[in-house]
Amino acid sequence: MIAQPSCASPTMSSPKLKEVSVRLPKDYGRPDEPWHHYFTIDLIWTTLGYTVFHPFVSWVVCLCLRAQYTPYGAPEMRIAVAWAMAMSMIGIFNIFSDRIAFGRPREIDLAEEVIVITGGVDGLGGLLAETYGMRNANVAVLDTKKVGDEEAEDKGVLYYECDISDPKQVEAAAAEILEDLGPPTILINNAGISRPKSILDSTAEEVEQTFRTNTLSHFTTLRTFLPHMIKERRGTIVTVASVLGHLGAANLASYTASKAALIALHQSLRAELAQNPDAEEIKTILVTPGQMGTEMFAGLKTPSNFLAPVVTPAELAKDILRVIERGESGEIAVPLYAKYAPVMNVLPVGVQAIVRRLSGVDKAIAGSGLVGKTTSEKK
């Protein structure tokens, strides 16, 4: 009788598993925080949104009261029904409001999309690129930092060494992307630099470079990639700005001005796309985050962790991915105060001055020691 080799037999050669290097996220020297550090107004607001302010939960309360044989005429029953109806009406209003403003969502199939991310080696852009790469999406990154072929293959991302402030380099990279992956359908304009200096200390060259990278590059990428989206009759454009574009801040004039220009550019882009019948399926997303826990503003302390917590790249990336993959247009503003920052501009000037003093927004950069340092999200 001939003995058959078992599965564990050493004579059978097993395929060699590919080793994949894993890099832990950077913490930029931030120590572990106690539990109460994560107790913020954003956490409270999110919890309320899934409980007290949720229409479904509100109606469940009404059903629970009826299960206890609470009469319809009882005060608590009337209050519960009125609250549930109010939450339902607000929810319906928001659905219609979004539909009127942004139209119907488009269908997203990552296998059919070509994603271009500027500044996608580190920070928020790097996290987005690696996430899509792990999901076998077609991802192209434009960045000044060179990435090795082996590292790029491990991440499943194509990297193109490109200075997005130079239109010729962007056009050359676009031609390669078109040949390698096909027509781009998702553009995430993420790259940016910051030069914390007072207006008087800033040189003309520094201000120009900030605007070329933070603002003019968006015009370049739109002129380069938007025609392909219009031809394909589908697409998504993500504009990463900043809440400081609404507020401004001392020692950040060039940065905040360049981000304010992006907010206006986004609104103009939406208006132009609305007039083009071939752009009905092209969605736009404006991202205006507060302080992010990236290297750009490492060392900057938030005035109140409860009211103005630092946003991690993972939190912001999750929101961006969610809106993109729903095929929707929209605005992403985190943390909570960033959503209501534009209200500052309609408050009486005296109230604005008091809020700015209490928030410490104009003293934060000088107090953190960042003045004179150049930081970048496109390295």
Tokens of 91: 């929810």
Q: Active-site residue among 160, 255, 283, 378?
A: 255
Q: Which residues of the chain have pLDDT under 70?
A: 1-32, 298-299, 368-370, 372-379
pLDDT of residue 10: 43
Q: Where are the domains of the chain?
A: 40-102, 110-376
| pLDDT tens, residue by residue, 304-322 | 888 889 899 999 999 999 9
Please, which residues have CB within 8 angstroms of residue 92's CB and are 6 or more apart in sequence? Answer: none
Euclidean distance between CA atoms 344 and 352, whole angstroms: 6
Please, which residues have CB within 8 angstroms of residue 274's CB and are 6 or more apart in sequence? Answer: none
Total-model pTM: 0.87
pLDDT of residue 15: 47
Q: Active-site residue among 259, 283, 337, 378?
A: 259
Has domain 110-376 been given CATH number 3.40.50.720? yes
pLDDT of residue 134: 93
pLDDT of residue 296: 73
| pLDDT tens, residue by residue, 331-354 | 999 999 999 999 998 999 999 999
Contact 332, 287 (CB under 8 A): yes
Radius of gyration over alpha carbons of the chain, in Å?
A: 25
pLDDT of residue 359: 87
231 is a catalytic site residue: no
26 is a catalytic site residue: no
- Of 184, 261, 250, the C-alpha closest to 216 is 261
The three-state DSSP-derived secondary structure of 15-38 is CCCCCCCCCCCCCCCCCCCCHHHH
